[in-house]
Structure 1
């Protein structure tokens, strides 16, 4: 049987900010505010959330979060979903997010709804509503009017458990990789302290930063690996896509290249893929990424160390242009002017330490890409 979402779910979004200004976001506090960049890999990254005052929080009781609420982004990068499994502090959402609350547990299992929102069927629905829009936006009335199939609770539970097993493996790989990235950061900090730079040498002085353009009109009807901002934000996995779905030219991703986003650099987006894993199709990247290229896997690991450091992120943030959070960017020529903080004569020692760790990270990232393909196959089977 099919049910209309608006009849059986609580669906709410924030309408305006009632004059809330950027300066009213707090670095710490008791009342958290979630925006789209805080939704990663189907979860809320609580450590990246900002805060608002108690007075601002209390202005909108209809969007105060509860455990098991589902969040979905409705502006910009549309369709990122997360499930709120725990709440250690009172939390609410920014204007670009809908809250979905299951008010019909006799008909729906919350996890089943969560997985439906990741299905091809739902993505097709989103595409049909935003195609041709100057500013992509998912409207609440359209969302509420959507009807979806509701199998028995037993079948919903079976479907959810199978998909959850894949998610748990992806989560475990991400946790292991996060720990390895932290290890790389510690090695890098110690190395910089032991071998401080003797000369002022920039990234552009040492590494190749040129990138060839991938012309979409000259490459019709072929598959590519797409390293895009939305794909990074959703699950940090490139997507295998057809060029027919891509409207603008992209950048070719080079062997041993490292991608760093010039868009909103306060939210760190860094990719150092092993292209041996993606050799079946051409790898391309969004123009929002700046690419810095090494000549070997060892140099790629070295570049990753530098670009992933907090010092480099601070450098990018301090050199952004643009008046709003959603449009802040750093110019590529500024991004590659960063002065390398260690003695280049000693770089071989750093490369030998971090290169095996990066290889391990890359292997798990590709495993997650394969797991995501399996998950998409399962989603398409059931939805």
Structure 2
């Protein structure tokens, strides 16, 4: 399999997130999906549909947030570095993110999600800061990546996605079996 070298900045626009002032209640509870690292911290799936809070049009216009088109990569860039998700809907993120708007003629979104997940320790090592580590936009742009052709990326991503679905199904089956066992135990012994 032939791999071609790129810089991450060659295959994705890195877009910073932003947060409107929390002192103005008009900035929140609107219709614009807004994702924070907290929304990803308990996330078990790679797709995120929405966050706990939305921002308003006023809030969006009062900060430097940019809309991220659907099916791109959201990555927390501090506290902690490396929480990942693919956005199902157009959204924006808070300042704790560096989002990757991918050139889909070069890379597949699912493949890039798995690629970044696999290389996250190396990415985290590029973080700097005294209070908490943060990875900069320029550090992300300069990361060297190696990609197979687009068709091979899609094949690899499909295989990994299929495995993820099977793992999730097995977890659901186990959870159901545990609930049934508890119910039987309570019925018989309590």
Q: With structure 2 as the length reference, what TM-score do the two structures score?
A: 0.78
Aligned to 2:110: 111
Contact kept, 8 Å, 2:21 with 2:59, in 1: the verdict is no
CA 1:176/1:57 → structure 2, altered by over 3 Å: closer, same or farther?
Answer: farther
Contact kept, 8 Å, 2:82 with 2:124, in 1: the verdict is no
Q: For CA contacts below 8 A with separation 6 or more, give which structure has more relative contact order.
A: 2
Corresponding position: 1:139 with 2:140? no
Q: Which residue of the other structure, out of 11, 26, 48, is the alignment partner of 1:44?
A: 48
Q: Which residue of the other structure, out of 334, 338, 352, is the alignment partner of 2:186?
A: 352
Contact kept, 8 Å, 1:102 with 1:108, in 2: the verdict is yes
- For residue 22 of structure 1, report the CA deviation from its aligned partner: 7.9
Contact kept, 8 Å, 1:43 with 1:81, in 2: the verdict is no
CA 1:351/1:31 → structure 2, altered by over 3 Å: closer, same or farther?
Answer: farther
- For residue 98 of structure 1, report the CA deviation from its aligned partner: 1.8
- How far apart in 2 are the matches of 1:91 and 1:132? 28
Q: Could you list the structure 1 runs, at least 4 aligned residues long, displaced by more than 6 angstroms after superposition.
A: 177-181
- How far apart in 1 are the matches of 2:22 and 2:67? 17
- How far apart in 2 are the matches of 1:21 and 1:145? 36
Aligned to 1:77: 80
CA 1:68/1:45 → structure 2, altered by over 3 Å: closer, same or farther?
Answer: closer
Q: Which residue of the other structure, out of 168, 172, 176, is the alignment partner of 1:171?
A: 168
Q: What CA deviation, in whole Å up to 9, does each residue of 1:131-186 have, x standing for no partner?
A: 784412111110011010011122212211111111112333455577789x79xx
Contact kept, 8 Å, 2:27 with 2:57, in 1: the verdict is no
Structure number having the greater strand percentage: 2
Structure number having the greater helix percentage: 1
- How far apart in 2 are the matches of 1:35 and 1:57? 14
The number of equivalent residue pairs is 182
Contact kept, 8 Å, 2:7 with 2:143, in 1: the verdict is yes
Partner-residue secondary structure (3-state), 1:136: coil
- How far apart in 2 are the matches of 1:174 and 1:36? 24
